[in-house]
Amino acid sequence: MASGALRARSGSSSTAFRKDLNDPHTAVGRLIASAAERSQVFVVTHAAKLIATLEKRKGCNLIRLEKQFGETKIVDSDELDVPAWRWPAR
């Protein structure tokens, strides 16, 4: 993608664009947030800076996951908040 296209999509000035090149998670976060204004977007990442950038946006619904004893769990939820899941019979 040409730098002009990225700048136009992010709506940032030339100075902010140069800063984004040094901090790609912020640039990607802005692009994702821009796309999310027009459609539903799911992001799965381990990048703390990207999470922080997206978390600042209005309408961001953050669900943190962690692995406990080989099982992925939703952080800060109890068993009643999680939908029931059972592996189907073979």
Cα separation, 4 vs 10, in Å, equals 10
Q: How far apart are CA 18 and CA 74, in angstroms?
A: 37
Report DSSP state, residue 77.
-
| pLDDT on residue 4 | 41
**Residue 73 to residue 83: CA distance in whole angstroms:** 12
Digit-coded pLDDT (tens) for 48-82: 888 888 888 888 888 888 888 888 888 887 777 77
Provide the whole-model pTM.
0.56
pLDDT digits (tens, 9 = 90+) for 23-37: 777 888 888 888 888
